[in-house]
Amino acid sequence: MLRCPECSAEIDVDEDEVEEGEILSCPECETELEVSQTHPVALNPISDELEEDEEDDELEEDEEDFDEDGDLPDEDDEDDDDDDEDE
């Protein structure tokens, strides 16, 4: 008998018949669990937090294009160069 690492509920699975990489679902908390090893069977929760972290990283990369106010950087630098040439 296996136990969910999140809520400790019993998961009714034959330990001899699970394969590494297999995805199980906890009947109590509905957490998806990956079989990370078979002898002894070890279950690791598959969390949506990983996906959210990846999305946050992508958002942070996009935010680098903006200044601290959240605006696009001003293109005044090009205008300043033009003013210097006129003088």
pTM over 0.75: no
Q: What pLDDT sits at residue 3?
A: 92
Dist. CA 78–CA 80, nearest whole Å:
5
What integer is the mean pLDDT of 13-35? Answer: 93
Q: Higher confidence at residue 9 or residue 76? A: 9
Whether the CB-CB separation of 65 and 52 falls below 8 Å is answered with: no
What is the length of the chain? 87
Say how far apart CA 16 and CA 22 lie, in whole Å.
13
pLDDT the model gives residue 35: 95
Instruction: List pLDDT tens digits, range 42-56.
Output: 999 987 654 455 555
d(CA 26, CA 3): 9
